[in-house]
Structure 1
Amino acid sequence: MKIEVSVIISTYNSPLWLEKVLWSYDTQTYKNFEVIIADDGSGEETMQLIASIKNKLSYPVQHIWHEDNGFQKTIILNKATISSKGDYLVYTDGDCIARKDFLEVHVANRKAGCYLSGGYFKLPEHISKLISKDDIYNQSCFDIKWLKKHGLKSSFKNNKLTARGLKMNILNFITPTKSTWNGHNSSAYKKDILNVNGYDERMQYGGEDRELGERLVNAGMKAKRVRYSAICLHLYHERGYVNPEMIAVNKSIRLVTKTQKLTKTAFGNQRVNFSNS
């Protein structure tokens, strides 16, 4: 059977978190997918994890890796995109545990000329470490009572885990958060990603995902919010790779994309032929 969906998971030297994420895709109610690990230069520990876990999973895994040369997430994501076998691509991160209906929601809401914009539910460090394989398989880590038992505070954001049916649809519609391309939880047809020439490989951390979404919109696509329906738990981690110079460069690239209404980047996946518009 031809693979319909490719899940592209970015990672860098976080094998403990990546393991939990890979287990979460073993619980998915939607089954016709592969996982591609887009590895931005992780070391031996991650290599060993992937080698040991691949045969224990119910889905096929590709591991796309390049040498560590600083933050080059956009480059490895483009390589993973080209390697994908599915016609529909779901992008997420190696620190985001997917609820069992995560892919089912993305597949049910996919639509030509549209990309899906999801969010995440951020966990504190102690709960992130506490979550076990069993907690993922029995879905207790998505249970608000279980989370509160282990110290999660009350918040309006907790609705992401509890909203169902009409309430879920209303919250997706009224949320003030803009519909943007978010690397931890977004999806689109592969042909549409290739049409805009993928990620801009000049960009490092800070808006590199959103810039892709801005070109998709410039190309005529619309964004649909699935923030309260496509649910993933964001495991805690520090962001030691962020620096002001990196952010400034990315802002300048995005400004050009917006003001010139670019639909493609000359610094994307060079295996795609295009002319900028």
Structure 2
Amino acid sequence: MPLPTSSLIISTYNWPEALELCLLSVARQKIQPSEVIIADDGSGEKTRKVIERFENTLTVPLIHVWHDDRGFRKTEILNKAIKQSSAAYIIQIDGDVILHPYFIKDHLQISERNAFVRGTRARLTKQMTEETLASKKTDFTALSRGVYHRLNAIRIPVFKALGIRKEMRSRSVRGSNLAFWKSDFVLVNGYNSDLQGWGHEDEELAARFINNRIIKKIVKLSAVQYHLHHEESSRDLESLHSITLENTVKNTIKSCANGYSCN
């Protein structure tokens, strides 16, 4: 069965040094996505210049989708970015991760109709993050110095089936390592743009996938990424977002009102 066309969606906000590392790791992919789309939640000139440099070096189209900075509006910019995608399959990451060279290939090989994928991520310590930003290093393994959550950095292709399990629950879904069919995203009307600020937007999207009988595939031993250390975003609105998530689950809500079709 041929691999689907894919759009790699990278969300970012005012951390151009991290985005540069992320894009360097994209350039090293053994299989490139059909296109790369930057979902930019209002970054400044430094981020634009990083993207312009890679427009001339990546072997696939690089599209910069931006809106003005009016606070944390990640749901809106992701809807706008995915609306501009032309591929059948969406692979979504954050701009503060470094991808294993087989990241895209792994995601495409585990893609499955009527399913979305929740990957995991290893992490880099604060010290290793600082060293990595200075050196622009993008080659890590599970045994590298400064890596923790090492189990999430193990890639064993021959055993990858053992690292996959399925469930109909939206817990622990993070947009940093997420993949789904664009048609399924449109079906549920994308991200809920009423969720402004940090917290649970990815789980709420996943809950609507599940309410439409689209199963979650939890993946380990493949689709490896390394998350750069940073301070946490404000969680002032997390409790309100949690109420929305609980309502989506409890009432089996299949589509949001203010989502993809409105952006």
Higher-helix-fraction structure: 1
| Aligned counterpart for 2:189 among listed residues 184, 192, 197 | 197
Q: Does 1:248 align with 2:250?
A: no
- Once the two structures are superposed, residues 34-81 of structure 1 have per-residue CA deviations (whole angstroms, 9 ceiling, x without a partner) of 110000000111111111222022221000000000000000000001
> 2:159·2:221 contact (CA, 8 Å) conserved in 1?
no
Find the counterpart in structure 2 of residue 19 from structure 1: 20
Paired residue secondary structure (2:137): helix
Runs of 5+ in structure 2 lacking a partner? none
- Once the two structures are superposed, residues 73-92 of structure 1 have per-residue CA deviations (whole angstroms, 9 ceiling, x without a partner) of 00000000100011100011
Q: Does 1:206 align with 2:196?
A: no
- Once the two structures are superposed, residues 217-265 of structure 1 have per-residue CA deviations (whole angstroms, 9 ceiling, x without a partner) of 00110111113311010011112x3133x11110111111011100100
Paired residue secondary structure (2:261): coil
Structure-1-length-normalised TM-score: 0.86
Paired residue secondary structure (2:87): coil
Query: Within 5 A, what are the aligned runs for 1:6-155?
Result: 6-131=7-132, 135-136=137-138, 139=139, 141-142=140-141, 144=143, 147-148=144-145, 151-152=146-147
Kindly state the Cα deviation for residue 169 of structure 1 after the two structures are TM-superposed: 3.8
Paired residue secondary structure (2:20): helix
Paired residue secondary structure (2:260): coil
Query: Within 5 A, what are the aligned runs for 1:171-186?
Result: 171-173=163-165, 180-186=172-178
In 2, Cα distance between equivalents of 1:54 and 1:100: 19
Runs of 5+ in structure 1 lacking a partner? 273-277
Kindly state the Cα deviation for residue 182 of structure 1 after the two structures are TM-superposed: 1.9
Kindly state the Cα deviation for residue 167 of structure 1 after the two structures are TM-superposed: 5.1
> 2:8·2:33 contact (CA, 8 Å) conserved in 1?
no
In 1, Cα distance between equivalents of 2:207 and 2:171: 10
Kindly state the Cα deviation for residue 125 of structure 1 after the two structures are TM-superposed: 1.5
In 1, Cα distance between equivalents of 2:92 and 2:163: 22
| Aligned counterpart for 2:220 among listed residues 227, 231, 234 | 227
Kindly state the Cα deviation for residue 7 of structure 1 after the two structures are TM-superposed: 0.5
Paired amino acid for 2:209:
L
Kindly state the Cα deviation for residue 158 of structure 1 after the two structures are TM-superposed: 1.6
> 2:170·2:204 contact (CA, 8 Å) conserved in 1?
no
Q: Does 1:262 align with 2:253?
A: yes
Kindly state the Cα deviation for residue 142 of structure 1 after the two structures are TM-superposed: 2.6
Matched length: 257
Paired amino acid for 2:217:
K
CA RMSD of aligned residues (A): 2.3
Kindly state the Cα deviation for residue 9 of structure 1 after the two structures are TM-superposed: 0.5
- Once the two structures are superposed, residues 99-142 of structure 1 have per-residue CA deviations (whole angstroms, 9 ceiling, x without a partner) of 01101111001111000110111111221222267732xx3x23
Paired residue secondary structure (1:131): helix
Paired amino acid for 2:205:
L
Paired amino acid for 2:234:
V
| Aligned counterpart for 1:160 among listed residues 142, 152, 160 | 152
In 2, Cα distance between equivalents of 1:53 and 1:159: 31
Kindly state the Cα deviation for residue 171 of structure 1 after the two structures are TM-superposed: 4.3
Paired residue secondary structure (2:150): helix
Most deviating of 125-134 and 10-19: 125-134
- Quickly say closer, same or farther: Cα 1:152–1:73, change in 2 above 3 A: closer
Paired amino acid for 1:60:
P
In 1, Cα distance between equivalents of 2:57 and 2:189: 35
Larger Rg: 1
Kindly state the Cα deviation for residue 178 of structure 1 after the two structures are TM-superposed: 7.2
In 1, Cα distance between equivalents of 2:51 and 2:28: 18
> 2:54·2:62 contact (CA, 8 Å) conserved in 1?
no
